[in-house]
């Protein structure tokens, strides 16, 4: 059994899903750390103030149709730190809340505590957190498990999926190996163009000897075998204990050595789908039969150019394939932002005005 003290920052659908699974299957009892106020200044709905430093019962409806209760310790993250501080903090807040939430919780973290970021927009959250918490080691996660918050501390596991974890530090080693193994142009790499799109990545401009050196460094860090070609990548020792616990939770926890690439592809899919559906006020899955197709194509083209410039070569066609793989699974799901602001005359007026202004600036062609 792990001796690490775990905390979960954010008691929404993802936080409760992982909290209940960690306790039931991994033998870890994480503490739920809660904020007193939401991002808009609203008080978080809580059953009673008396549950501070106490336990809460979290109800989980499983994807198989049954349900169970887990009793988890809970406390406000800006409360008094307890005697024992947390070694691992799993962050499951919205990405834009993560920085403030972690700052509040910092006094409760032990020296050398590690943070697992399991938020949508993990890349953006990680960038912000590294600025304010540069001394903390971060593990980034991405999950395809579906979960829905039915009520405070009541969650439904709507679909089983898989979860991947990785650190951005290790991604660069694997990107180096990838370029080394594929010599010049990896399959599907965008050809270099003179207009700034499809720019040749920096790693490919390196001499081959440097690529070899990078690959050797990566191999020495991440593989227990002599040859990187044998077997799956080993988890870096720094994260082995944490990943062991996450893996025991039965929510899947694979180590992904190319986590940065995975998160960027997810980002591309979200960029292609979410704004278009919100603006068109249609369910995500109907984009294929709407004018969103052209937007998807343009967004994928632009994200592919950014990824390629970051040293993760990919074509817009590859990204589009990922988008169209996801769309059918999203049918009838509306974005939360859309649900709140749907059919607002004020939004329509301001959106139209801003759109026209942007077009006049020459940023984008006027829609027809």
Partner 1 sequence: MITGYVLSQAEKLGVPVPTIQLLDSLMSLIEWDRVQRLSSPVE
Among 17, 105, 108, 123, binds partner 1 (CB under 8 A): 123
Which 249-278 residues touch partner 1, going by CB under 8 A? 267, 270-271, 274-276, 278
The yes or no reply on residue 330 touching partner 1 (CB under 8 A) is no
Size, binding site for partner 1 by CB under 8 A: 42
Q: How far is the CB of 318 from partner 1 (least distance, A)?
A: 16
Q: How far is the CB of 149 from partner 1 (least distance, A)?
A: 17
The yes or no reply on residue 347 touching partner 1 (CB under 8 A) is yes
Token readout for 311 is 């040293």
Nearest to 264 by CA among 93, 142, 97: 142
The yes or no reply on residue 364 touching partner 1 (CB under 8 A) is yes
Between residues 183 and 347, which has the closer beta carbon with respect to partner 1? 347
Between residues 1 and 340, which has the closer beta carbon with respect to partner 1? 340
Q: How far is the CB of 271 from partner 1 (least distance, A)?
A: 6
> What is d(CA 145, CA 341) in angstroms, rounded to the nearest whole number?
27
Name, in order, each residue with C-beta under 8 angstroms of 170's C-beta and a sequence gap of 6 or more: 218, 221, 222, 236, 257, 259
- What 3-state DSSP class applies to 43? strand
The alpha carbon torsion through 304, 307, 312, 317 (nearest 10 deg) reads -10
Strand 67-76 relative to strand 54-61: parallel, antiparallel, unpaired?
antiparallel
Q: How far is the CB of 342 from partner 1 (least distance, A)?
A: 10
Contact 91, 9 (CB under 8 A): yes
- What 3-state DSSP class applies to 197? coil
> Going residue by residue from 124 to 163, which x/- string records binding to partner 1, judged by CB under 8 A?
x--x------------------------------------
Nearest to 259 by CA among 168, 126, 163: 168
CA angle (267 as vertex; 356, 353 as ends), nearest 5: 10
The yes or no reply on residue 49 touching partner 1 (CB under 8 A) is no
Residues in the chain: 368
Between residues 258 and 299, which has the closer beta carbon with respect to partner 1? 299
Q: How far is the CB of 363 from partner 1 (least distance, A)?
A: 5
The yes or no reply on residue 197 touching partner 1 (CB under 8 A) is yes
> What is d(CA 218, CA 238) in angstroms, rounded to the nearest whole number?
15
What letter does residue 288 receive in the DSSP assignment?
Answer: G
Between residues 235 and 271, which has the closer beta carbon with respect to partner 1? 271
- Strand ranges (DSSP E) for 179-272? 254-255
Between residues 237 and 344, which has the closer beta carbon with respect to partner 1? 344
Among 72, 303, 319, 327, binds partner 1 (CB under 8 A): 303
> What is d(CA 82, CA 242) in angstroms, rounded to the nearest whole number?
22
Residues interacting with partner 1, by CB under 8 A?
A: 40, 42, 96, 120-121, 123-124, 127, 196-197, 199, 267, 270-271, 274-276, 278-279, 295, 298-299, 302-303, 305-306, 309-310, 337-338, 340-341, 344, 346-347, 350-351, 354-355, 358, 363-364
């Amino acid at each position: 059994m792990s001796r690490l003290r775990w905390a979960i920052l954010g008691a929404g659908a993802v936080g409760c899903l992982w909290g209940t699974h960690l306790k039931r299957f991994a033998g870890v009892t994480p503490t739920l750390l809660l904020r007193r106020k939401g991002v808009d200044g609203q008080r978080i709905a809580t059953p009673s103030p008396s549950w501070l430093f106490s336990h809460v019962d979290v109800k989980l409806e499983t994807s198989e149709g049954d349900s169970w209760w887990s009793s988890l310790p809970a406390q406000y993250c800006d409360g008094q730190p307890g005697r024992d501080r947390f070694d691992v903090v799993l962050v499951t807040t919205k990405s834009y809340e993560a920085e403030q939430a972690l700052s509040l919780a910092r006094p409760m973290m032990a020296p050398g505590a590690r943070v697992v970021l399991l938020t949508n927009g993990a890349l953006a959250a990680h960038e912000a957190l590294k600025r304010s918490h540069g001394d903390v080691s971060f593990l980034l996660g991405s999950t395809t498990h579906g979960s829905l918050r039915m009520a405070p501390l009541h969650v439904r596991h709507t679909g089983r999926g898989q979860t991947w974890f990785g650190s951005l530090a290790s991604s660069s080693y694997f990107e180096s190996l990838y370029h080394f193994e594929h010599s010049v142009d990896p399959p599907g790499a965008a050809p270099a163009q003179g207009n700034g799109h499809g720019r040749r990545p920096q790693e490919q401009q390196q001499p081959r000897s440097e690529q070899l050196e990078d690959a050797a460094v990566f191999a020495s860090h991440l593989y227990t075998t002599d040859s990187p070609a044998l077997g799956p990548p080993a988890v870096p020792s720094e994260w082995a204990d944490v990943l062991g616990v996450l893996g025991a939770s039965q929510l899947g926890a694979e180590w992904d050595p190319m986590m940065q690439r995975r998160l960027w592809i997810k980002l591309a899919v979200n960029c292609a789908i979410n704004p278009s559906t919100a603006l068109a006020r249609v369910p995500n899955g109907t984009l294929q039969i709407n004018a969103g197709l052209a937007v998807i194509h343009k967004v994928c083209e632009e994200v592919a150019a950014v990824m390629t410039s970051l040293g993760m070569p990919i074509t817009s066609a590859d990204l589009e394939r990922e988008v169209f793989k996801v769309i059918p699974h999203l049918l009838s799901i509306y974005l939360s932002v859309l649900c709140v602001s749907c059919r607002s005359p004020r939004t329509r007026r301001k959106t139209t005005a801003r759109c026209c202004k942007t077009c006049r600036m020459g940023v984008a062609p006027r829609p027809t």
